[in-house]
């Protein structure tokens, strides 16, 4: 085995968004900053909906302003958001690592 079998297979067949290789599960995420990744024990971090924005509705009055092909536009906007967050219990934070990569 010359070490290129995994790369050749990935180029030929593609890979799933998460895969198991060398006894490690690899996942894709956009929850970390550039040149960093998460490492640690599985199933410690939980994902949930934030109470601070769930069910909160904002009504915005849009007065006639600006120029469009139909003239000044006015109306009302109703905006609602649902945000999510990641929670790691305090006693288990030592099992989750932020790894700097280049």
| Domain residue limits at 86 | 5-100
Show the tokens assigned to 53.
């924005």
> Which of 42, 49, 12 shows the shortest CA–CA distance to 27?
42
* pTM across the whole model: 0.45
- Domain count for the chain, please give it: 1
Instruction: Looking at 1-102, list the stretches that DSSP marks H as alpha helix, in order from N- to C-terminal side.
Output: 5-13
What tens digit of pLDDT does each residue of 30-60 get?
A: 777 888 888 888 888 888 999 888 888 988 8
The CA distance from 25 to 18, in Å, is: 7
């Amino acid at each position: 085995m010359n070490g290129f079998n995994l790369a050749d297979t990935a180029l030929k067949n593609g890979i799933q968004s998460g895969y198991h290789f060398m006894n490690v599960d690899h996942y894709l995420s956009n929850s970390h900053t550039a040149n960093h990744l998460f490492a640690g024990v599985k199933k410690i971090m939980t994902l949930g909906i934030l109470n601070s924005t769930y069910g909160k509705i904002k009504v915005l009055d849009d007065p006639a302003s600006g120029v469009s092909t139909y003239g000044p536009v006015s109306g009302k906007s109703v905006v609602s958001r649902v945000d999510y967050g990641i929670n790691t219990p305090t006693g288990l934070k030592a099992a989750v690592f932020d790894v700097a990569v280049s």
